[in-house]
Amino acid sequence: MYNRKIPEIIGVDAATIRLLDASGKNLKLKAAYGLSQAYLARGPLDEELATYYLKKGEPVVIPDAKTDVYTIYHKEAQAEGISSILAVPITVLDETIGILRLLKEEIHYFSTAEINFAMAVAEQGGVAIQRALDYSKLKKI
């Protein structure tokens, strides 16, 4: 089960972690909190404009996911009651391995402090994820 601490500390309603597959092109959902199964199954995020910038290591603030050009699932966001999204890259040694998305029901303009905190959490998470993946590979040898 996804840890609730990050959403509680940052003050968001939901969160997801998606990691890039072996090809480095497609994101796969690995953890989620606060979202319905229908919303999580809405489709891939690989074609979203937000994902393009995230893969380049840049955070993306989406004040209104129901209309924003960075997102493509406007109707699904409306149905889920999602307005604002802060998406940050999960990185290891400046290489993006996934994304952390923090979602709020109301429209919210994330502050520089909130963005920096999320970036720091994602960077530390990236190190932990990479270590776990490396350990898993070593156990198979």
Q: Do residues 54 and 88 touch, judged by C-beta distance below 8 A?
A: yes
- Vertex 87: Cα angle to 81 and 92 (nearest 5): 150
- Calculate the alpha carbon distances from 32 to 1, 3, 74, 111, 112 in Å: 8, 9, 19, 23, 24
Q: Which two tokens stand for residue 110?
A: 């994330």
User: How is domain 5-140 classified at the CATH fold level?
Assistant: Beta-Lactamase (3.30.450)
Q: Which residues are within 8 A (CB) of 130 and not within 5 positions of it... i.e. 6 or more apart?
A: 92, 97
Q: pTM for this one?
A: 0.89
pLDDT value, residue 94: 87
Q: Which residues are within 8 A (CB) of 136 and not within 5 positions of it... i.e. 6 or more apart?
A: none
Q: What is the pLDDT of residues 82-100, one digit of tens each?
A: 999 999 999 998 899 999 9
Q: What one-letter code names the amino acid at 36? A: S
Spatial separation of the C-alpha atoms in residues 93 and 114, rounded to whole Å: 22
Cβ atoms within 10 A of the Cβ of 140, count? 5
Q: What is the pLDDT of residues 35-91, one digit of tens each?
A: 999 999 999 999 999 999 999 999 999 999 999 999 999 999 999 999 999 999 999
